[in-house]
Amino acid sequence: ISRIGSALVKEIHEKQSMNRSRERFWELAGSKLGDILGVPKAAEQTDADSAVVEEHGEVDFKEDSKFSELLKKGDAVSDFAKSKTIQEQRQYLPIYSVRDELLQVIRENQVVVVVGETGSGKTTQLTQYLHEDGYTVNGIVGCTQPRRVAAVSVANRVSEEMETKLGDKVGYAIRFEDEIGPNTIIKYMTDGILLHETRSDGDLEKYRVIVMDEAHERSLNTDVLFGILKRVVAKRRDFKLIVTSATLNSQKFSNFFGSVPVFNIPGRTFPVNILYNRTPCEDYVEAAVKQAITIHITSPPGDILIFMTGQEEIEAACCSLAERMEQLISSTKKVVPKLLILPLYSELPSKLQALIFQKAEAGTRKCIIATNIAETSLTVDGIYYVIDTGYGKMKVYNSRMGMDALQVFPVSRASADQRSGRAGRTGPGTCYRLYTENAYINEMLPSPVPEIQRTNLSYVILLLKSLNVENLLDFDFMDPPPQDNILNSMYRLWVLGALNNVGSLTELGRKMADFPLDPPLAKMVLMGEQLGCLEEVVTIVSMLSVPSVFFRPKDRAVESDAAREKFFIPESDHLTLYNIYQQWEKHNFKEDWCNVHFLHVKALQKAREVRHQLQKILRKLKIPSSSCWPDSDLVRKAVCSAFFNNAARLKGVGQYVDCRNGIPCHLHPSSALYGMGCTPEYVVYHELLLTKKEYMQCVTCVEPQWLMEAGPMYFSIKESNTSFLEHKKREEKEKTTMEEEMENLRKVQADADRNK
């Protein structure tokens, strides 16, 4: 990581997308999207009205008549979905031609690796075949997905194919949300859900078959599941495991389970012409938008798929593309065919995601702008043109900050090939790579680094410990995480009080593992119990688990800021979030109320669902409810006891330094503390936002006393002047001690085992 990191990571993010506002995008994307999302309508006037129309030098205009004709005609392939019944579509998929053979192999083997091109029908068909072959008579067929979006969208599609309502025979479960009923026999879920289920049902008794889909993505949860499922396979003869993968890695998977058969679904793909940039491009958002426009007005029909890194960029690109189209229409007297611009990323509400699969009306070209979610998880038919920026976002552990951060990285060669392949699904296509061939050959890694080797493992460690995997070094990992990584994560858990000095789960740690939450948030809930402010804390945790509730249209910034300010509780953004939820509840969870106060109703509704789910867990654990309102000190204390790891000390006006690593960090202008001019000596924050400056997000003022109580390993009164270096030294020393103690324990255990 550090190798590619230093060589290639570009700090493109802030430069390119920060000043292009998200709301502008919603404005341009039209009322339809806005209606579904439930965002208040922005004012009519747009910036583009006064904008100077740019020249499109590279664009070669065709005769308008021919041009729109061209788009109307010959769209036979993407009309495919329209002309065939849903059952006929099923039979058209490549997997259908090998259905019986595949089922035979599955009957004869307990574990099978299935390999097939994206779109061959693995995700939607395999589960149905298994059902048709009788596997759901005594148990259910589960299918795991690394991505939430895929789980929901595929469950929708399959329930349609099986002509049942979602949540009846076919359902899905993702964190804090499920559509599962007593009749459910095919269950799509994220790999995280299945992993969490192993806590209450170690042998996964209710499943007859598990399809581990998209295993090549090597998500952290999938990698851990590999080890757990291997144990289940050895224990339960009646259990079947199917691992699906794009071509990559299949042999490795087969070897891991003891040389199990690899079944290949013959592909049906068309050649893709690959075009490279001659020179590296400066601004790939800009370059991609230009390329899309060029394709749209010069090339024959076929939809466009653009790969970008994340939500902000995608929205910026959508916005810019829509603007260009507007300009084009107003600057030429010719008929410009319609371009339907569709964003696709995981945080996008599912109703909007569904638009991707809908066929555009005749004469309209679709242009989908997506994250790497469209690389393998979701297949959209009718794509003839792919524009690949060559970058993607990856979660990596940032040792400087001591936390995970999503960072932009060049994709691997395998991903680049996967991306270009998307253009050849319905006919011969073209892929425009916005990087040089030299970069592809010499700078890109052959395949992506598995998540387990690059992220914080705290939750996984907590979970494995609670599954009685005492010694993580003995766990059957396909690619063991670096020992440093394990140790760092264990240290974080120890600091939180979830592990004791020899690395075993404490009582608190055991309880923390019951919540599908990041360990600090789980600790916050449990501290809420202890301090008697559970109600408040659960609301705050729910609000922290959803996208931002604040809606801030660019053209109504002043108004929306004023609306936000009304909710401020001067000493804490956490309490401000609580306040908002309370007020919303008081107003009967009304949508109108949200619109008036510039709040995203969907985000609040999501928070309400999360809250319900958390309360369900609390009831199951028989943890009684408690509240301390209107006294809020205890709530701040609970926040402090979970986030003391992210503490900062005042240095200048609005300026802080992180207590642990000395990094300067700032109050964000949107913070309640900033707005109320409240600059306390000590604060804790939820996370750091990396833009031009390091901004603390969601900040709460705390007493130094609380920091000392919560994190005695970091803070003491005497040492208030100790330098960051000394802290660092001490942290290292503690880690070494812990390591030694664990090593001793291992030796003792090994001796004991030998004497048995």
Minimum gap (Å) between residue 378 Cβ and Mg ion: 8
Dihedral pair phi/psi, residue 381, rounded to 5°? -80, 160
Q: Kindly state the helix (H) or strand (E) to which residue 234 belongs, with its residue range.
A: helix 220-235
Gap between the terminal Cα atoms of the chain: 43
Q: Which is nearer to ligand CDP, 357 or 724 (CB)?
A: 357
- Nearest Cα to 392, choosing from 417, 371, 420? 371
Distance CA 718, CA 696 (A): 27
Distance CA 391, CA 411 (A): 5
Minimum gap (Å) between residue 38 Cβ and ligand CDP: 23
The edge-to-edge listing of strands for the beta sheet with 272-276 is 272-276, 429-433, 383-388, 303-307, 364-370, 338-344
> Considering CB distances under 5 to 8 angstroms, the limit depending on partner class, which of ligand CDP, Mg ion, none binds residue 509?
none
Minimum gap (Å) between residue 235 Cβ and ligand CDP: 29
Q: Which is nearer to ligand CDP, 86 or 750 (CB)?
A: 86
Q: Under 8 Å CB-to-CB from 85, ≥6 apart: which residues?
A: none
Q: Which is nearer to ligand CDP, 98 or 288 (CB)?
A: 98
> Considering CB distances under 5 to 8 angstroms, the limit depending on partner class, which of ligand CDP, Mg ion, none binds residue 171?
none
Q: Which is nearer to ligand CDP, 208 or 425 (CB)?
A: 425
Distance CA 565, CA 562 (A): 5
Tokens of 573: 């953004």
- Given a contact cutoff of 8 angstroms between Cβ atoms, the answer to whether 206 and 139 are in contact is yes
Distance CA 716, CA 726 (A): 13
Minimum gap (Å) between residue 395 Cβ and ligand CDP: 23
- Given a contact cutoff of 8 angstroms between Cβ atoms, the answer to whether 553 and 23 are in contact is yes
- Given a contact cutoff of 8 angstroms between Cβ atoms, the answer to whether 345 and 371 are in contact is yes
> Considering CB distances under 5 to 8 angstroms, the limit depending on partner class, which of ligand CDP, Mg ion, none binds residue 613?
none
- Given a contact cutoff of 8 angstroms between Cβ atoms, the answer to whether 506 and 284 are in contact is no
Distance CA 241, CA 109 (A): 9
Minimum gap (Å) between residue 122 Cβ and Mg ion: 5
Residue holding tokens 């609005």? Answer: 654
Strand partners, 397: 404
Minimum gap (Å) between residue 133 Cβ and Mg ion: 20
Q: Which is nearer to Mg ion, 122 or 216 (CB)?
A: 122
> Considering CB distances under 5 to 8 angstroms, the limit depending on partner class, which of Mg ion, ligand CDP, none binds residue 153?
ligand CDP
Q: Which is nearer to ligand CDP, 168 or 443 (CB)?
A: 168
Distance CA 566, CA 670 (A): 12
Q: Which residues bind Mg ion (CB under 5 A)?
A: 122-123
Q: Which residue is nearest to Mg ion (CB)?
A: 123
- Given a contact cutoff of 8 angstroms between Cβ atoms, the answer to whether 700 and 639 are in contact is yes
Minimum gap (Å) between residue 227 Cβ and ligand CDP: 24
Distance CA 446, CA 420 (A): 15
CB burial class (10 A; 0-12, 13-18, 19+) of residue 6? Answer: exposed
Q: Widest CA span of the chain, in angstroms?
A: 90
Minimum gap (Å) between residue 441 Cβ and Mg ion: 29
- Nearest Cα to 245, choosing from 220, 263, 225? 263
Minimum gap (Å) between residue 212 Cβ and ligand CDP: 12
Q: Find out whether the peptide bond into 630 is cis, omega within 30 degrees of 0.
A: yes
Q: Which CA distances in Å does 244 have to 111, 215, 223, 721? A: 11, 6, 13, 56
- One-letter amino acid at 44 equals E
Minimum gap (Å) between residue 670 Cβ and ligand CDP: 36
DSSP summary character for residue 478:
S
> Considering CB distances under 5 to 8 angstroms, the limit depending on partner class, which of ligand CDP, Mg ion, none binds residue 21?
none
Decide the pairing of beta strands 647-652 and 682-690.
antiparallel
> Considering CB distances under 5 to 8 angstroms, the limit depending on partner class, which of Mg ion, ligand CDP, none binds residue 671?
none
Q: How many CA atoms lie within 13 A of 670 on its CB side?
A: 18
Minimum gap (Å) between residue 387 Cβ and ligand CDP: 20
Q: Which is nearer to Mg ion, 124 or 309 (CB)?
A: 124
Minimum gap (Å) between residue 254 Cβ and ligand CDP: 18
Q: Which is nearer to Mg ion, 71 or 383 (CB)?
A: 383
Q: How many residues in total does the chain contain?
A: 756
- Given a contact cutoff of 8 angstroms between Cβ atoms, the answer to whether 141 and 207 are in contact is yes
Q: Which is nearer to ligand CDP, 177 or 381 (CB)?
A: 381
Minimum gap (Å) between residue 415 Cβ and ligand CDP: 15
Angle (CA) 485 418 225, round 5°: 40
Q: Which is nearer to ligand CDP, 116 or 301 (CB)?
A: 116
> Considering CB distances under 5 to 8 angstroms, the limit depending on partner class, which of Mg ion, ligand CDP, none binds residue 119?
ligand CDP
DSSP summary character for residue 691:
S
Q: Which is nearer to ligand CDP, 156 or 164 (CB)?
A: 156
DSSP string, 338-390: EEEEEEE-TTS-HHHHHGGGSPPPTTEEEEEEE-GGGTTT---TTEEEEEE-S
Minimum gap (Å) between residue 659 Cβ and ligand CDP: 47
Minimum gap (Å) between residue 405 Cβ and ligand CDP: 30
Q: Which is nearer to ligand CDP, 268 or 649 (CB)?
A: 268
- Nearest Cα to 387, choosing from 334, 431, 441? 431
Q: Which is nearer to Mg ion, 157 or 433 (CB)?
A: 157
Q: Which is nearer to Mg ion, 144 or 453 (CB)?
A: 144
Q: Which residues bind ligand CDP (CB under 6 A)?
A: 93, 116, 118-125, 153-154, 156-157, 357, 379, 381
> Considering CB distances under 5 to 8 angstroms, the limit depending on partner class, which of ligand CDP, Mg ion, none binds residue 539?
none
Distance CA 467, CA 339 (A): 52
Q: Which is nearer to Mg ion, 154 or 462 (CB)?
A: 154
